[in-house]
Amino acid sequence: MKKSINLRSMAAQAIEQVVEKGQSLSTVLPPLQHKVSDKDKALLQELCFGVLRTFSQLEWLINKLMSRPMTGKQRTIHYLIMVGFYQLLYTRIPPHAALAETVEGAVAIKRMQFKGLINGVLRQFQRQQEELLAEFAEQDARYLHPMWILKRLQAAWPQQWQAIVEANNERPPMWLRVNRQHHSRDEWLSLLEESGMTGHIHPRYPDAVRLETPAPVSALPGFDQGWVTVQDASAQGCVELLAPQNGETILDLCAAPGGKTTHILEAAPQAAVMAVDVDAQRISHVYDNLKRLRMKADVKVGDGRFPAQWCGDTQFDRILLDAPCSATGVIRRHPDIKWLRRDSDIAELAQLQSEILDAIWPHLKSGGTLLYATCSILPEENSEQIRAFLARTPDAQLDGTGSAQTPGIQNLPGATEGDGFFYAKLIKK
């Protein structure tokens, strides 16, 4: 086992991979977690997620306290100092231990000559902490979001943008989906309470339970038997609106990791479900989810823009299109999104969404339902996308989700709410 002394250097290297190489944290972190003991896994995750959540602040502090930036191969030291700041500001690790472990991180990555520098910068921060934080509170960076995201949120949500930003900077609530094939939600809630935990129900989604305090899945009653699945409440809203029925042929498009595929099968176990995703690596998670819940679906790797390649001329009763998007509604779950996305991505994603919509619509039966969903809170990907689709698609009609002017339903992230999510339910006339 790796000693905890290396956790800081491991976190620094993971953050470097995200910020400098554009890797997602969900790709970078799991292989590192395999190298450490179970008790250290949580701390490694906390350091990585925490630094990326508060990145703007930590970057600002480094720029204040260092005369010139670390470049090239020394860049890992830059991120190691960030890990040090994060521990001092946001964790209960005793400052002397945080300092010592971070300085030792330089040894682990064979950069021993920087031990004095790291120690000096962190101690200087401790001495000046109060005035530095007071000055930071006046900066735009205090919102902990890149400026391009802030500007888009301010334009789209002039009244709510600050509440959205605050929600994005919080740790996410842990939502669960009770498998109605095993228990009703209330029956499972009783089992949860018997095991000493508290859950809260959602006013709109009948399978959703929010844990008062997040817990490992191993502690959840019947997790291994498939009684319950970790899934955000807003994601559960998709199947509530799709309303799948037994005997129907249903397509879950852009299906990985398979949470919605399995939810469809819990709601309609006799439906014939096809789950398609363009990412061959992520499709393995769909198989994992189906296996844990002992379910069957027709799983395929395929591009939503070219459905004939993977479904021929099949017609579906219902289609759930969980479209590729900016993921601006799930920043609190994936804080790396703030540093992986670019402003120019939004137009490209909107173009991709419209191509998939146009390509898949002919595969919907007459009278069938298509639910368009994204985990975005930007109108270009949501209401504007659907308005344009309705304008160019004479046989498409909005069904009970919004109006012709503002089509769809937009959920915004909230402390006891689900993530930011958009839905538009379309019927083929």
Distances (CA, A) of 357 to 78, 173, 253, 307: 43, 32, 11, 11
DSSP strand E in 339-406: where?
Answer: 364-374, 396-398
Active centre residues (catalytic): 375
- Cβ atoms of 411 and 419 within 8 Å: the answer is yes
- How far apart are alpha carbons 10 and 24 in whole angstroms? 15
**Order of strands across the sheet with 228-230?**
199-201, 208-211, 175-178, 228-230
Provide the β-strand partners of residue 402.
407
- CA angle 277–283–285, rounded 5-degree value: 135
- Cβ atoms of 205 and 237 within 8 Å: the answer is yes
| Residue labelled with tokens 């109060």 | 130
Residue among 84, 85, 121 at smallest CA distance from 100: 84
Distance of CA 414 to the CA centre of its chain: 14
CB atoms within 10 A of CB 128: 14
Question: Over the range 132-165, which residues count as b (16 or more CB within 10 Å of their CB) and which as e?
Answer: beeeeeeeebebbbbeebbebbeebbeeebeebb
**104 backbone dihedrals φ, ψ, rounded to 5°:** -65, -25
- Cβ atoms of 207 and 229 within 8 Å: the answer is no
- How far apart are alpha carbons 297 and 261 in whole angstroms? 8
- Cβ atoms of 226 and 258 within 8 Å: the answer is no
Q: How much is the CA Rg of the chain, to the nearest whole Å?
A: 23
